Chains A and B, each alone.
Chain A
Amino acid sequence: MADTIKLEISRYSPETDAAPHFQSFEVPFRRDWVVLDALNYIKDKQDGSLTYRWSCRMGICGSCGMLVNGEPKLTCATFLADYAPASIRVEPLRNFPIVRDLVIAMNDFMRKFQKMKPWLIRKEEKPVSEGEYLQTPEQLDAYKQFSMCINCMLCYAACPVYGLDPLFAGPAAIALAQRYNLDSRDQGAKDRFPVLSQHDAIWGCTFVGECTRVCPKHVDPAGAIQQYKLTAALDWVKSVVMPWGGK
């Protein structure tokens, strides 16, 4: 087996480049190395200007998402050995503006998250003296899957609808809204409804399903969106059949 492996890395310097270009690096090939290890090796030994985000290197902080051979991946969980001996292409996440090299701008993503009111909304907070809001394991199970999201944005990079329509709220944000809607302690579903039931939110989704396929945490955002479509549609039927029902 070859003892080095070639990485083609997308470089973009806002000071000097009009557009990104690829640069090749040879790094030692080690069975236990992930793509992020190779990037760190390059930064330490070959080119200190290589810019990328990472933190935990254990698949939990969600900051190391990049395209590996065109596929959105957490680079700290993507082994070189799965690609060797072929070379590996590393690019910044698709559908986001590129700030530098492998770093993308996530402002839009963060704003969309905020719009979903991702916190527990209570009609009336009970005083601390009355204790916590209790929850059974079944109630936890109802939303647990959607709460596993690490905000890695891989699903946005995989979603063609987001690429085509930057106004689209996107997979993780809608899954996050569902995470709170389905929480037994939350009473804010009605506050989130106007945000969710837009063409830019659930109705823009065509169920490509790529978000779910690439999600490293098995959040299934595509499922969350379709489930919410059903909720919104039934809600609509109710409002037509019983207009006096009051919303």
Chain B
Amino acid sequence: MKSSVATPPYTLNHPRWYRKRVSTYWWLLRWEYLRFVLREISSVFVAWFVVLTIVQIYAVSRGPDAYAEFQDFLKNPFVLALNVISFFFVVFHSITWFNLSARAMAIRIGGKRVPGFLISGPNFAAWLVISALIAWLLLRE
């Protein structure tokens, strides 16, 4: 970083200042950091769900046999276990997402900022309604 301020040249690389390099495992050092990294890693499971969905669509397009094969694939214990883990991560994603978006938006009504829970609350409610709706659509006889 070049600076326009008149700093004596020696300050930037002051030999006697002690500089510590950030550890590669910085995210293990504090629980808050680990929680953050887990939140980011939830996106890997989001991507896994998308892959699963694409494969499902592909299976349907190939006909009943391929689709039955796909259903068996889902019953494989490893796949099942992976999906259970993924489920927890995507739920974690949803919860953190709604909480964070309330903080990322500064909505003002009548000059006062709307408190966060009034933004995340409706989001959580909408999440439940949407989930119920999808379940109903998929599972009705």
Tell whether any CB of A sits under 8 Å from a CB of B in the complex: yes
Stretch at the interface among A28-36, A218-226, A235-243: A218-226
A210 and B32 within 8 A (CB): yes
Tell me, rounded to whole Å, the shortest Cβ–Cβ distance linking B3 to chain A: 5
Q: Beyond A107-B11, A164-B22, is A226–B103 a contact (Cβ under 8 Å)?
A: yes
Write out the residue numbers on chain A whose beta carbons fall within 8 Å of the beta carbon of B20.
Answer: 98
| Distance between Cα atoms of A227 and B27 in the complex (Å) | 25
Q: Beyond A207-B100, A223-B106, A230-B105, is A20–B5 a contact (Cβ under 8 Å)?
A: no
B interface residues, tally (CB under 8 Å): 30
Judge whether A213 is part of the interface by a CB distance below 8 angstroms: yes
Judge whether B14 is part of the interface by a CB distance below 8 angstroms: yes
Judge whether A120 is part of the interface by a CB distance below 8 angstroms: no
Tell me, rounded to whole Å, the shortest Cβ–Cβ distance linking B2 to chain A: 10
Judge whether A142 is part of the interface by a CB distance below 8 angstroms: yes
| Distance between Cα atoms of A76 and B136 in the complex (Å) | 57
Write out the residue numbers on chain B whose beta carbons fall within 8 Å of the beta carbon of A97.
Answer: 14, 17-19
A163 and B26 within 8 A (CB): yes
Write out the residue numbers on chain B whose beta carbons fall within 8 Å of the beta carbon of A209.
Answer: 36, 100, 103
Q: Measuring CB to CB, which residues of chain B are less than 8 angstroms from any residue of chain A?
A: 1, 3, 5, 7, 11-12, 14, 16-20, 22, 26-27, 29-30, 32-33, 36, 40, 100, 103-106, 108, 111-113
Write out the residue numbers on chain B whose beta carbons fall within 8 Å of the beta carbon of A85.
Answer: none
Q: Which of B16, B22, B32, B106 contacts A213 (CB 8 A)?
A: B32
Tell me, rounded to whole Å, the shortest Cβ–Cβ distance linking A159 to chain B: 10
What's the interface size class on A, roughly? 35 or more
Tell me, rounded to whole Å, the shortest Cβ–Cβ distance linking A115 to chain B: 9
Judge whether A19 is part of the interface by a CB distance below 8 angstroms: yes
Tell me, rounded to whole Å, the shortest Cβ–Cβ distance linking A121 to chain B: 17
By beta carbon, the residue of chain A nearest B12 is: A107
By beta carbon, the residue of chain B nearest A140 is: B111
Write out the residue numbers on chain B whose beta carbons fall within 8 Å of the beta carbon of A160.
Answer: 22, 26-27, 33, 36
Q: Beyond A160-B22, A164-B22, is A227–B105 a contact (Cβ under 8 Å)?
A: yes
| Distance between Cα atoms of A220 and B115 in the complex (Å) | 13
Please, could you name 13 A-B residue pairs with CB atoms under 8 Å apart, sorted by A?
Answer: A98-B17, A99-B17, A111-B5, A138-B111, A141-B113, A163-B26, A206-B40, A209-B36, A210-B32, A220-B103, A223-B103, A223-B106, A226-B105
Interface residues as binary, A113-157 with B (CB distance below 8 Å gives 1, 0 otherwise): 010000000000000000000000110011000000000000000
Besides A97-B18, A160-B27, A206-B36, 20 more A-B contacts (Cβ < 8 Å) are A14-B17, A20-B18, A70-B30, A107-B11, A108-B1, A111-B3, A111-B5, A137-B111, A138-B111, A160-B22, A160-B36, A163-B26, A164-B22, A166-B1, A167-B1, A207-B100, A208-B36, A226-B100, A227-B105, A230-B105
